[in-house]
Amino acid sequence: MDQATLPSETEIGRVALTVADLPPTVDFYRDVVGLQVLDSDDDRTILGAGGQELLILNRRPDAPARGSAGTGLYHVAFRVPSRAALGDALKRIESEWTLSGASDHGVSEALYLSDPAGNGVEIYRDFPRAPWQETPSGHVEMVTEPLDTQSVAAAATGEQSMPARSDIGHVHLEVSSVETARSFYANALGLRVRAAYDGAVFLAAGDYHHHIGANVWQGRSRPHAGQGLAWFEIRFPDEATLAATRKRLRQSGYAVSETDTGLTVRDGDDIELRLRA
């Protein structure tokens, strides 16, 4: 079994994206995803649910396109607390956008789409944890089966916004190497490997199915830069965990910077993480 280092209370915080054109991207995350605009000016918009910041959109029209070889974001996954909320999201997508996929993963039900800038988006809800299947090695069994979207749509209530208990459940990255990702996110950062197959690794704190996914399905090889994922945040339950993580990252050879709110570090593909308690 992979040794869990980070406590189970660890969670994904905010995600920041760099976009060339702000208004259509804001419209998408407000009207389709269902986030609320919490603050906005010409160059930045902060969106969230229930008053909690989840997504930051930064306008940089001069930022180069990510390119087909660039590592970065596969999708940001917004987690809703109920099937009714997932049904409401599906109804908004069907009315305002295009659904690109829908899957039953055994641990969750998920809808997939892309924002106007091409960033991948997942909206999902977890099944209760008791039925999740564990392997003898301590991994969680996840599948990809067709989702009964008619049943999901039937649960909708007509709500146009994500409910207050929504959050970002996980971030899925496109990386240059599964081994490089595992070295950083498991060995140095301290997440637990929960599944590994088909050119991908899924890692979590505690017994969650995954907080981080990393895949090599598109054969991307260049360090992350330009439009797309600017950074994402991991929140720890206390300062002791933050301090222990800082020590472990530095001992593993990663450059860690101190900030007013926590730490900043870059993974093996130059993807920025912000760590805070």
Q: Write out the chain in H/E/C secondary structure.
A: CCCCCCCCCCEEEEEEEEECCHHHHHHHHHHHHCCEEEEECCCEEEEEECCEEEEEEEECCCCCCCCCCECEEEEEEEECCCHHHHHHHHHHHHHHCCCCEEEECCCEEEEEEECCCCCEEEEEEECCCCCCCECCCCCECCCCEECCHHHHHHCCCCCCCCCCCCEEEEEEEECCCHHHHHHHHHHHCCCEEEEEECCEEEEECCCCCCCEEEECCCCCCECCCCCEEEEEEEECCCHHHHHHHHHHHHHCCCCEEECCCCEEEECCCCCEEEEEC
pLDDT at residue 65 greater than cutoff 80 = yes
Residue 4 has pLDDT above 60, yes or no: no
If one looks up domain 11-78+157-276 in CATH, what number appears? 3.10.180.10
Q: What is the pLDDT of residue 137?
A: 87
Predicted pLDDT at 251: 96
- What are 66-75's pLDDT values in tens digits? 999 999 999 9
Q: How many other C-beta atoms are found inside a 10 Å radius of the C-beta of residue 24?
A: 11
Question: Quick check: 265 and 257 in contact, CB under 8 A?
Answer: yes
pLDDT cut 70: percent of the chain above it: 99
The candidate with the shortest Cα–Cα distance to 133, out of 212, 185, 207, is 207
Residue range 143-200, pLDDT digits in tens: 999 999 999 999 999 999 999 999 999 999 999 999 999 999 999 999 999 999 889 9
Q: Which residues contact 130 (CB under 8 A, 6 or more apart)?
A: none
On average, the pLDDT of the chain sits at: 97
* Boundaries of every domain in the chain: 11-78+157-276
Provide the pLDDT for residue 2.
44
* Residue 138 pLDDT level (bands cut at 50, 70, 90): confident
- 41-44 long-range Cβ contacts below 8 angstroms, 24+ apart: none
Distance CA 108, CA 231 (A): 25
Q: Is pLDDT above 70 for 247?
A: yes
Q: What is the pLDDT of residue 91?
A: 99
pLDDT classification of 5: cutoffs 50, 70, 90: confident
pTM score, whole prediction:
0.97
